Amino acid sequence: MLVLLTGELGAGKTTLAQGIVSGLGAAREEEVTSPTFNLVHVFTGKVKVYHADLYRIESGHDLETLGLEEAFAEPGVVLVEWPDRLTFRTNWPMIKVEMGHATAKSVGEDEGVRSLCIFDASGALAGGAAGEETERKI
């Protein structure tokens, strides 16, 4: 499964990745950190999980050094932060999670509230009507 995590800095991409990795039994939440400088972290448990951060990727050569081809060669889950830096050509199931800070008007003054939209590979909003946005506190 390929999970693309998009959103501005501080939107909660790594926090969501911590929950996913922990929920899959691949590592404890506190063991999951942002791979901004390492670029890819690999967690092996019940399921093998790759957590990649493409924020610092500047060229196609940089992408080749990541070893993501290995990730797609075996069953597992690949979480990618800043996926807009790479075009993914895979027949793996894919979802895209768009994250952002919820507007203060819609949630009061709680700064810990994020908006999440989850899309399937076709671009359709998963679990809702096209264009419908739901907000969840994380």
Per-residue pLDDT band for 136 (boundaries 50, 70, 90) equals: very low
Query: How high is the pLDDT of residue 104?
Result: 55
pLDDT, tens only, 122-132: 777 765 544 44
Query: How high is the pLDDT of residue 131?
Result: 45
Q: Which domains does the chain have, with CATH numbers?
A: 2-137 (3.40.50.300)
CA angle in degrees (0–180, nearest 5) for 117-118-120:
145
Query: How high is the pLDDT of residue 24?
Result: 94
Question: Residue 127's Cα: distance from chain center in Å?
Answer: 18
The helix or strand, by DSSP H or E, that contains position 120, with its residue range, turns out to be strand 113-120
| Residue 76 and residue 48 in contact, taking contact as beta carbons nearer than 8 Å | yes
- Residue scoring higher pLDDT (47 or 68): 47
- Stretch 33-51: mean pLDDT: 87
Provide the token pair at 116: 């999440």
Q: Is the pLDDT at 111 greater than 80, yes or no?
A: no
| Of 106, 64, 103, residue with least CA distance to 86 | 64
- Half-sphere exposure at residue 104, Cβ-oriented, CA atoms within 13 angstroms: 2
- Residue scoring higher pLDDT (138 or 104): 104
Query: How high is the pLDDT of residue 69?
Result: 74
pLDDT, tens only, 1-10: 999 999 998 8
- Residue scoring higher pLDDT (92 or 42): 42
What does the alpha-carbon distance between residue 58 and residue 60 come to, in Å, rounded to a whole number? 7
| Residue 118 and residue 110 in contact, taking contact as beta carbons nearer than 8 Å | no
- Half-sphere exposure at residue 70, Cβ-oriented, CA atoms within 13 angstroms: 13
The helix or strand, by DSSP H or E, that contains position 2, with its residue range, turns out to be strand 2-6
